[in-house]
Amino acid sequence: MRLGFFMMPVHPPVRSFTDTLAEDTEKSLLADRLGFEELWLGEHFSATSEPIPSPLMFMAGLLPRTKNLRFATGVINLPNHDPVIVAAEVAQFDHMSRGRFMLGVGPGGLLSDFELFRHTDVALRNRKVVESVRIMRQIWSQDPPYDIDGEFWKVRLKDNVVADLGIGYMPKPYQKGGPPVTLSLASPNSSSARTAAQQGWGIVSANIIPTYSVASHWSIYSKASAELGKRPSGENWRVSRNVMVAPTDAEAYDRTFGDKSSSRYFWTYIRAALGGVGLLSILKPRPEMPDEEATVDLIAEGCALYGSPKTMLDKLVAFRDEVGPFGTLLMTGLDWTGPNEAWERQAMALMAEEVMPKFRQHVLVQAAE
């Protein structure tokens, strides 16, 4: 059982880009000091509220300043990129990090990005993800000439290859065969879980979905793996959650639902963003409930975990028993406006130092039974 950190990130759109980049850097370094093992970072091009267009660039700045963290894109939205460019940049980062890298991929989740890149067709985006990874892996597996055909991209490099000078050769990653690939999942009963199993990828369940939806991901992924003759392993499954640990249950509740809470802002933002485009069902604890019943508080209650260290341990044990044997918990980073910096620093420390050691022990004992 590993502990990682996930930043979409979400900040109030009025905040300075300079300041939020500095803040996200500081909380990444804090995660490293506390012994978090992974850092996942989102990619968005057209939202000042979710403002990092290049997670690789951001993480490259952290490489010489961190010791414990493995880095992951959460995610690179592959339909928006030429796979040749992604293959080369990923290979470079993998060498810079000496293999401390995992390639998180997905079709995207921000409608303004879909419009910006003219990718509004869901089925087309999903096909592009699969093809893009196939092309990248083929590039990494061979020397030139490159002659790769796909539905969306064609890679040709045959006439201008000078072997003695290294000209015409695409870079290969530090990790043999390339970094492990993980696919993001956000919809209940997502067919992408089956795609991930078929492709031999890991999965990461989003932080903004209720418990039943998380459980559906493992059900589909494990069943598809078994059908292919593979033993499904929670080692390849990551679950992201908004987690608030405080000294007492009352303080944790207030830091999750109070008016000054970044957690409350987060859920208010997510509800408005998805509700405004007809996707509120993703957040609902019961998909059939009317929209007006799916309040911010109800959504947060269904998706977030909060409590004292003891309560958090009990909630994590119950949550994992209900959804399935995930191998990594990703704690979601929140905005540090007002008292939230002190609250999140304390929550991260309590999670790393008090909750996770006991949670790991529980998982080990359970696995041995």
Q: Give the residue extent of every domain in the chain.
A: 2-74+180-368
Q: How confident is the model at residue 8 (pLDDT cuts 50, 70, 90)?
A: very high
Q: Taking 90 as the threshold, does the pLDDT of residue 284 lie above it?
A: yes
DSSP string for residues in 280-326: GGGT-SSTTS-GGG--HHHHHHHH-EEE-HHHHHHHHHHHHHHH---
Residue in the structure block whose two tokens are 């996707």:
279
- One DSSP character per residue, 231-243 reads ---GGGEEEEE-E
Nearest to 200, CA basis, from 175, 240, 229, 168: 229
Q: What is the pLDDT of residue 127?
A: 97
Nearest to 4, CA basis, from 182, 132, 168, 126: 182
Q: Is the pTM of this model over 0.95?
A: yes
Q: Which of 56, 107, 99, 73 is CA-nearest to residue 4?
A: 73
pLDDT, mean of residues 164-170:
98
Q: Determine phi and psi for 54, rounding to 5 degrees.
A: -135, 90
- Assign residue 99 a region (left: φ > 0; alpha: ψ between -120 and 50; beta: otherwise): left
The mean pLDDT value of the chain amounts to 97
Strand partners, 239: 205, 329
* Partner residues linked to 38 by β-bridges: 4, 70
Residue 257: count other Cβ atoms within 10 Å of its Cβ: 18
Q: How confident is the model at residue 262 (pLDDT cuts 50, 70, 90)?
A: very high
Confidence of residue 72 (pLDDT cuts 50, 70, 90): very high
In this predicted structure, what is the pLDDT of residue 6? 98
How is residue 203 written in tokens?
């999965």
Which amino acid belongs to residue 321?
D
> What's the rounded mean pLDDT across residues 243-272?
98
Q: Please state the rounded mean pLDDT for residues 118-139.
A: 97
Q: Measuring CA to CA, which residue among 6, 137, 28 is closest to residue 74? A: 6
Q: What is the mean pLDDT of residues 305-329?
A: 98
Torsion of CA 311, 312, 315, 316, to 10 degrees: -150
**DSSP 8-state assignment for residue 39:** E
Distance CA 105, CA 184 (A): 6
Model confidence band, residue 369 (pLDDT cutoffs 50, 70, 90)? confident
CATH 3.30.360.10 fits 2-74+180-368, yes or no: no
- Residue 151, pLDDT above cutoff 90: yes
What is the pLDDT confidence band of residue 28, given thresholds at 50, 70 and 90?
A: very high
Q: Is residue 84 reached through a cis peptide bond, with omega within 30 degrees of 0 on the bond before it? A: no
Q: Is residue 347 scored above 90 in pLDDT? A: yes
What is the token pair recorded at 338?
A: 């007002």
What pLDDT, on the 0 to 100 scale, is given for residue 148?
A: 98
Cα gap 197→9, rounded to integer Å? 28
Q: Give residue 172's pLDDT.
A: 98
